Chain A
Amino acid sequence: MSRNSWPLYEVFVRGKRGLNHVHVGSLHAADDEMAVRHARDLYTRRNEGVSIWVVKAADITASSPDEKDPFFAPSGDKVYRHPTFYEIPDDVPHM
Protein backbone atom coordinates (compact mmCIF):
# COMPACT_ATOMS: atom_id res chain seq x y z
CA MET A 1 0.00 0.00 0.00
CA SER A 2 1.46 3.32 -0.96
CA ARG A 3 1.73 6.15 1.47
CA ASN A 4 -1.06 8.08 -0.21
CA SER A 5 -3.64 5.42 -0.85
CA TRP A 6 -6.20 6.56 1.68
CA PRO A 7 -9.22 7.09 -0.59
CA LEU A 8 -12.19 9.26 0.28
CA TYR A 9 -15.28 7.50 1.61
CA GLU A 10 -18.81 8.82 1.97
CA VAL A 11 -20.63 7.82 5.14
CA PHE A 12 -24.35 7.07 5.57
CA VAL A 13 -25.81 6.46 9.00
CA ARG A 14 -29.19 5.19 10.13
CA GLY A 15 -30.01 6.17 13.70
CA LYS A 16 -31.46 3.84 16.29
CA ARG A 17 -35.02 4.84 15.42
CA GLY A 18 -34.23 6.19 11.98
CA LEU A 19 -36.04 4.89 8.93
CA ASN A 20 -33.30 5.30 6.37
CA HIS A 21 -29.61 5.95 6.00
CA VAL A 22 -28.68 9.61 5.79
CA HIS A 23 -25.47 10.97 4.34
CA VAL A 24 -23.53 12.47 7.27
CA GLY A 25 -20.12 13.24 5.81
CA SER A 26 -16.93 11.77 4.50
CA LEU A 27 -13.58 10.49 5.71
CA HIS A 28 -10.35 8.96 4.48
CA ALA A 29 -9.53 5.32 5.19
CA ALA A 30 -7.21 2.63 3.91
CA ASP A 31 -10.02 0.18 3.14
CA ASP A 32 -13.71 -0.53 3.66
CA GLU A 33 -13.30 -2.12 7.09
CA MET A 34 -11.25 0.76 8.47
CA ALA A 35 -13.74 3.20 6.95
CA VAL A 36 -16.57 1.62 8.96
CA ARG A 37 -14.42 1.70 12.11
CA HIS A 38 -13.57 5.35 11.69
CA ALA A 39 -17.15 6.25 10.78
CA ARG A 40 -18.24 4.69 14.05
CA ASP A 41 -15.81 6.88 15.99
CA LEU A 42 -16.43 10.05 14.05
CA TYR A 43 -20.14 10.01 13.33
CA THR A 44 -21.94 7.76 15.79
CA ARG A 45 -20.00 8.03 19.07
CA ARG A 46 -20.63 4.30 19.30
CA ASN A 47 -24.34 4.51 19.96
CA GLU A 48 -25.83 1.07 20.04
CA GLY A 49 -28.19 0.01 17.29
CA VAL A 50 -27.10 2.27 14.47
CA SER A 51 -26.31 1.08 11.00
CA ILE A 52 -23.41 2.49 9.00
CA TRP A 53 -22.83 2.34 5.27
CA VAL A 54 -19.59 3.47 3.72
CA VAL A 55 -18.94 3.73 0.03
CA LYS A 56 -15.88 4.92 -1.85
CA ALA A 57 -16.57 8.38 -3.18
CA ALA A 58 -15.25 7.21 -6.55
CA ASP A 59 -18.13 4.70 -6.76
CA ILE A 60 -20.79 7.39 -6.58
CA THR A 61 -22.14 8.92 -9.75
CA ALA A 62 -23.88 12.25 -9.21
CA SER A 63 -26.28 14.16 -11.39
CA SER A 64 -24.67 17.14 -12.98
CA PRO A 65 -25.65 20.63 -11.75
CA ASP A 66 -25.44 21.89 -15.37
CA GLU A 67 -28.25 19.59 -16.39
CA LYS A 68 -30.43 20.56 -13.48
CA ASP A 69 -33.25 22.01 -15.53
CA PRO A 70 -33.78 19.28 -18.09
CA PHE A 71 -33.14 16.66 -15.45
CA PHE A 72 -35.52 17.75 -12.76
CA ALA A 73 -37.87 20.33 -14.33
CA PRO A 74 -40.45 17.89 -15.81
CA SER A 75 -41.71 16.94 -12.40
CA GLY A 76 -42.24 20.44 -11.13
CA ASP A 77 -44.75 21.87 -13.59
CA LYS A 78 -46.62 18.75 -14.61
CA VAL A 79 -48.96 18.11 -11.75
CA TYR A 80 -50.70 15.31 -13.61
CA ARG A 81 -47.51 13.25 -13.08
CA HIS A 82 -48.00 13.27 -9.33
CA PRO A 83 -50.54 11.22 -7.45
CA THR A 84 -51.55 14.21 -5.36
CA PHE A 85 -55.27 13.77 -5.90
CA TYR A 86 -55.55 10.82 -3.59
CA GLU A 87 -56.39 11.02 0.06
CA ILE A 88 -53.85 9.03 2.01
CA PRO A 89 -55.64 6.78 4.49
CA ASP A 90 -54.76 7.40 8.11
CA ASP A 91 -53.46 3.89 8.66
CA VAL A 92 -50.80 4.18 5.97
CA PRO A 93 -47.60 5.23 7.70
CA HIS A 94 -44.42 6.62 6.23
CA MET A 95 -45.85 8.43 3.19
Chain B
Amino acid sequence: MNEKAVAYVLRLGDDALVAAQRMAALATWAPQLEEDVALANIALDLLGQARALLTYAGELEGQGRDEDLLAYRRDEHEFTSALLVEQPDTDFAATMVKLLFFSAYQRLLYEELSAGDDETLAAIAAKSVKEVAYHLSHACAWTVRLGDGTEESKRRMQTAVDELWPYTHELFASDSVWRGYGFDPAGLRERWLGIVEPVLAEATLERPVDDWAPTGGRDGLHTEHFGYLVGEMQSLHRAHEGVSW
Protein backbone atom coordinates (compact mmCIF):
# COMPACT_ATOMS: atom_id res chain seq x y z
CA MET B 1 0.00 0.00 0.00
CA ASN B 2 1.21 3.45 -0.93
CA GLU B 3 0.36 5.42 2.21
CA LYS B 4 1.07 8.76 0.61
CA ALA B 5 -1.29 7.96 -2.27
CA VAL B 6 -4.08 7.01 0.15
CA ALA B 7 -3.59 10.16 2.19
CA TYR B 8 -3.43 12.29 -0.95
CA VAL B 9 -6.65 10.99 -2.46
CA LEU B 10 -8.40 11.11 0.93
CA ARG B 11 -7.66 14.82 1.21
CA LEU B 12 -9.29 15.49 -2.13
CA GLY B 13 -12.26 13.30 -1.22
CA ASP B 14 -12.69 14.90 2.19
CA ASP B 15 -12.60 18.39 0.68
CA ALA B 16 -15.38 17.47 -1.72
CA LEU B 17 -17.40 15.60 0.93
CA VAL B 18 -17.35 18.40 3.49
CA ALA B 19 -18.05 21.05 0.86
CA ALA B 20 -20.99 18.94 -0.36
CA GLN B 21 -22.35 18.51 3.17
CA ARG B 22 -22.24 22.27 3.75
CA MET B 23 -23.84 23.06 0.40
CA ALA B 24 -26.55 20.42 0.77
CA ALA B 25 -27.59 21.96 4.10
CA LEU B 26 -28.67 25.05 2.15
CA ALA B 27 -31.36 23.19 0.22
CA THR B 28 -34.66 25.09 0.49
CA TRP B 29 -32.82 28.01 2.19
CA ALA B 30 -31.48 29.80 -0.89
CA PRO B 31 -32.71 33.35 -1.51
CA GLN B 32 -34.57 32.27 -4.64
CA LEU B 33 -36.07 29.09 -6.08
CA GLU B 34 -33.83 28.94 -9.14
CA GLU B 35 -30.74 29.57 -7.00
CA ASP B 36 -31.85 26.79 -4.69
CA VAL B 37 -31.70 24.40 -7.63
CA ALA B 38 -28.27 25.71 -8.63
CA LEU B 39 -26.86 25.17 -5.12
CA ALA B 40 -28.31 21.66 -4.89
CA ASN B 41 -26.79 20.96 -8.29
CA ILE B 42 -23.37 22.03 -7.08
CA ALA B 43 -23.77 19.97 -3.91
CA LEU B 44 -24.59 16.91 -6.02
CA ASP B 45 -21.52 17.45 -8.20
CA LEU B 46 -19.32 17.70 -5.11
CA LEU B 47 -20.86 14.61 -3.57
CA GLY B 48 -20.23 12.72 -6.80
CA GLN B 49 -16.58 13.75 -6.67
CA ALA B 50 -16.38 12.72 -3.01
CA ARG B 51 -17.84 9.30 -3.78
CA ALA B 52 -15.39 8.60 -6.60
CA LEU B 53 -12.39 9.84 -4.62
CA LEU B 54 -13.26 8.08 -1.36
CA THR B 55 -13.97 4.85 -3.22
CA TYR B 56 -10.59 5.11 -4.90
CA ALA B 57 -8.84 5.95 -1.61
CA GLY B 58 -10.42 2.84 -0.11
CA GLU B 59 -9.15 0.73 -3.01
CA LEU B 60 -5.65 2.14 -2.70
CA GLU B 61 -5.72 1.43 1.02
CA GLY B 62 -6.83 -2.16 0.47
CA GLN B 63 -8.31 -2.59 3.95
CA GLY B 64 -11.85 -3.12 2.73
CA ARG B 65 -13.10 0.37 3.53
CA ASP B 66 -15.57 1.65 0.95
CA GLU B 67 -16.91 5.17 0.44
CA ASP B 68 -19.54 4.72 3.18
CA LEU B 69 -17.12 3.47 5.79
CA LEU B 70 -14.76 6.31 5.01
CA ALA B 71 -17.50 8.93 5.15
CA TYR B 72 -19.46 7.60 8.12
CA ARG B 73 -17.08 5.68 10.30
CA ARG B 74 -14.19 8.05 10.71
CA ASP B 75 -14.00 10.45 13.63
CA GLU B 76 -13.59 14.19 13.34
CA HIS B 77 -9.80 14.10 13.67
CA GLU B 78 -9.47 11.51 10.90
CA PHE B 79 -10.87 13.85 8.27
CA THR B 80 -8.18 15.71 6.34
CA SER B 81 -10.31 18.30 4.58
CA ALA B 82 -9.14 21.91 4.43
CA LEU B 83 -10.44 24.27 7.10
CA LEU B 84 -11.96 26.48 4.39
CA VAL B 85 -14.72 24.06 3.35
CA GLU B 86 -15.99 23.44 6.90
CA GLN B 87 -16.59 27.14 7.57
CA PRO B 88 -20.26 27.82 8.29
CA ASP B 89 -22.61 29.45 5.80
CA THR B 90 -23.47 32.47 7.90
CA ASP B 91 -25.15 34.14 4.94
CA PHE B 92 -25.35 33.83 1.15
CA ALA B 93 -22.26 36.01 0.77
CA ALA B 94 -20.20 33.55 2.83
CA THR B 95 -21.49 30.67 0.69
CA MET B 96 -20.50 32.37 -2.55
CA VAL B 97 -17.07 33.57 -1.38
CA LYS B 98 -16.28 30.10 -0.07
CA LEU B 99 -17.36 28.61 -3.40
CA LEU B 100 -15.25 31.15 -5.30
CA PHE B 101 -12.10 30.38 -3.31
CA PHE B 102 -12.62 26.62 -3.25
CA SER B 103 -13.73 26.06 -6.84
CA ALA B 104 -10.84 28.14 -8.21
CA TYR B 105 -8.49 25.90 -6.21
CA GLN B 106 -10.24 22.70 -7.27
CA ARG B 107 -10.21 23.73 -10.90
CA LEU B 108 -6.46 24.33 -10.99
CA LEU B 109 -5.64 21.19 -9.05
CA TYR B 110 -7.98 18.94 -11.06
CA GLU B 111 -6.56 20.34 -14.29
CA GLU B 112 -3.09 19.27 -13.21
CA LEU B 113 -4.25 15.88 -11.93
CA SER B 114 -6.19 15.13 -15.12
CA ALA B 115 -2.82 15.14 -16.91
CA GLY B 116 -1.12 13.09 -14.20
CA ASP B 117 0.33 9.57 -14.13
CA ASP B 118 -2.36 7.98 -11.95
CA GLU B 119 -4.96 6.99 -14.54
CA THR B 120 -7.86 6.56 -12.12
CA LEU B 121 -7.18 9.88 -10.45
CA ALA B 122 -6.73 11.51 -13.85
CA ALA B 123 -10.11 10.18 -14.99
CA ILE B 124 -11.89 11.42 -11.86
CA ALA B 125 -10.19 14.81 -12.20
CA ALA B 126 -11.04 15.10 -15.89
CA LYS B 127 -14.72 14.48 -15.17
CA SER B 128 -14.72 16.84 -12.19
CA VAL B 129 -12.89 19.73 -13.80
CA LYS B 130 -15.88 20.42 -16.05
CA GLU B 131 -18.13 20.57 -13.01
CA VAL B 132 -15.92 22.87 -10.98
CA ALA B 133 -15.50 25.19 -13.97
CA TYR B 134 -19.26 25.68 -13.76
CA HIS B 135 -19.16 26.16 -9.98
CA LEU B 136 -16.43 28.75 -10.42
CA SER B 137 -18.29 30.74 -13.05
CA HIS B 138 -21.41 30.66 -10.88
CA ALA B 139 -19.45 31.97 -7.89
CA CYS B 140 -17.74 34.63 -10.02
CA ALA B 141 -21.07 35.90 -11.33
CA TRP B 142 -22.52 36.16 -7.81
CA THR B 143 -19.38 37.74 -6.38
CA VAL B 144 -19.53 40.52 -8.96
CA ARG B 145 -23.29 40.90 -8.63
CA LEU B 146 -23.22 41.19 -4.84
CA GLY B 147 -19.89 43.00 -4.44
CA ASP B 148 -20.92 45.59 -6.99
CA GLY B 149 -24.55 45.49 -5.86
CA THR B 150 -26.09 47.44 -3.01
CA GLU B 151 -24.28 48.94 -0.05
CA GLU B 152 -25.51 46.10 2.14
CA SER B 153 -24.56 43.31 -0.28
CA LYS B 154 -21.10 44.86 -0.72
CA ARG B 155 -20.63 45.06 3.05
CA ARG B 156 -21.58 41.41 3.47
CA MET B 157 -19.33 40.27 0.63
CA GLN B 158 -16.35 42.20 1.97
CA THR B 159 -16.96 40.70 5.43
CA ALA B 160 -17.05 37.19 3.95
CA VAL B 161 -13.91 37.79 1.88
CA ASP B 162 -12.05 39.15 4.93
CA GLU B 163 -13.14 36.28 7.17
CA LEU B 164 -12.45 33.48 4.70
CA TRP B 165 -9.23 34.76 3.13
CA PRO B 166 -6.93 33.47 5.91
CA TYR B 167 -8.17 29.91 5.31
CA THR B 168 -7.11 29.99 1.65
CA HIS B 169 -3.43 29.78 2.58
CA GLU B 170 -3.84 26.23 3.83
CA LEU B 171 -4.92 25.11 0.36
CA PHE B 172 -1.36 25.79 -0.84
CA ALA B 173 0.58 24.74 2.24
CA SER B 174 2.83 21.90 1.19
CA ASP B 175 3.85 18.87 3.22
CA SER B 176 5.17 15.35 2.67
CA VAL B 177 1.79 14.04 1.47
CA TRP B 178 1.32 16.75 -1.15
CA ARG B 179 4.91 16.31 -2.27
CA GLY B 180 4.73 12.54 -2.16
CA TYR B 181 1.99 11.89 -4.72
CA GLY B 182 -0.04 13.45 -7.53
CA PHE B 183 0.50 17.16 -7.92
CA ASP B 184 1.66 19.52 -5.17
CA PRO B 185 -0.83 22.42 -4.97
CA ALA B 186 1.83 24.61 -3.33
CA GLY B 187 2.78 25.88 -6.78
CA LEU B 188 -0.78 26.89 -7.62
CA ARG B 189 -1.15 29.91 -5.34
CA GLU B 190 0.00 32.44 -7.96
CA ARG B 191 -2.37 31.08 -10.59
CA TRP B 192 -5.14 30.97 -8.01
CA LEU B 193 -4.56 34.65 -7.25
CA GLY B 194 -4.66 35.21 -11.02
CA ILE B 195 -8.25 33.93 -11.01
CA VAL B 196 -9.50 35.39 -7.74
CA GLU B 197 -7.97 38.86 -7.70
CA PRO B 198 -9.54 40.12 -10.95
CA VAL B 199 -12.96 38.88 -9.78
CA LEU B 200 -12.62 40.73 -6.48
CA ALA B 201 -11.49 43.82 -8.37
CA GLU B 202 -14.44 43.65 -10.75
CA ALA B 203 -16.71 43.21 -7.75
CA THR B 204 -15.18 46.38 -6.24
CA LEU B 205 -14.04 44.33 -3.23
CA GLU B 206 -10.73 44.75 -1.43
CA ARG B 207 -8.26 41.91 -1.62
CA PRO B 208 -7.24 41.29 2.01
CA VAL B 209 -3.59 41.43 3.04
CA ASP B 210 -1.89 38.07 3.57
CA ASP B 211 -1.59 37.80 7.31
CA TRP B 212 -3.02 35.12 9.58
CA ALA B 213 -2.82 31.69 7.93
CA PRO B 214 -4.46 29.01 10.06
CA THR B 215 -3.70 25.38 9.19
CA GLY B 216 -4.45 22.00 10.72
CA GLY B 217 -7.23 20.54 8.60
CA ARG B 218 -4.84 18.35 6.64
CA ASP B 219 -3.66 16.84 9.93
CA GLY B 220 -7.15 16.33 11.31
CA LEU B 221 -7.09 19.42 13.53
CA HIS B 222 -10.30 21.23 12.70
CA THR B 223 -12.19 24.34 13.75
CA GLU B 224 -14.95 24.18 16.33
CA HIS B 225 -17.61 23.96 13.60
CA PHE B 226 -16.43 20.64 12.34
CA GLY B 227 -17.54 18.30 15.12
CA TYR B 228 -21.16 19.31 14.67
CA LEU B 229 -20.93 18.87 10.92
CA VAL B 230 -19.51 15.36 11.22
CA GLY B 231 -21.90 14.46 14.04
CA GLU B 232 -24.95 15.42 12.02
CA MET B 233 -23.65 13.74 8.88
CA GLN B 234 -22.95 10.44 10.65
CA SER B 235 -25.80 10.28 13.14
CA LEU B 236 -28.02 7.88 11.20
CA HIS B 237 -25.19 5.57 10.29
CA ARG B 238 -23.97 5.43 13.88
CA ALA B 239 -27.46 4.80 15.26
CA HIS B 240 -28.08 1.92 12.86
CA GLU B 241 -24.67 0.45 12.33
CA GLY B 242 -24.10 -1.89 9.42
CA VAL B 243 -27.49 -1.58 7.74
CA SER B 244 -27.72 -1.03 4.01
CA TRP B 245 -29.93 1.54 2.30
Contacts and interface: CB of A to CB of B under 8 A. Distances in A.
Interface of A: 1, 6, 27-30, 33-34, 37-38, 41-42, 46
A27 B34 contact: yes
B41 A41 contact: yes
A28 B33 contact: yes
B41 A1 contact: no
A47 to B, nearest CB: 12
Nearest to A35: B34
A85 to B, nearest CB: 50
B71 to A, nearest CB: 25
Nearest to B37: A41
A41 B138 CA distance: 12
Contacts of B41: 41, 46
A37 to B, nearest CB: 7
Interface in B127-145: 134, 138, 141, 145
B156 to A, nearest CB: 15
Contact of B149 (A1, A33, A34, A41): A1
B126 interface: no
Nearest to B34: A38
Interface string B32-46: 111101100100000
Contacts of A30: 145
Contact of B37 (A1, A33, A38): A38
Contact of B150 (A1, A6, A29): A1
Nearest to A29: B34
Nearest to A9: B34
Contacts of B145: 30
Nearest to A1: B149
Given A1-B149, A33-B141, A34-B141, A28 B38 contact: no
A37 B32 contact: no
A38 B38 contact: yes
Top 3 closest A-B pairs, CB basis?
Answer: A38-B34, A41-B37, A41-B41
Contacts of A34: 34, 141
Contacts of B33: 28
Given A6-B32, A28-B33, A46-B134, A37 B38 contact: yes
A33 B37 CA distance: 16
A15 B75 CA distance: 46
A77 B38 CA distance: 49
A6 B113 CA distance: 40
A42 B149 contact: no
5 contacts: A1-B150, A27-B34, A28-B33, A28-B34, A37-B138
Contacts of A1: 149-150
A88 to B, nearest CB: 42
A46 B34 CA distance: 15
Contacts of B141: 33-34, 37
Contacts of B149: 1
Given A27-B34, A38-B35, 8 more contacts: A1-B150, A28-B34, A29-B34, A30-B145, A33-B141, A34-B34, A34-B141, A41-B37
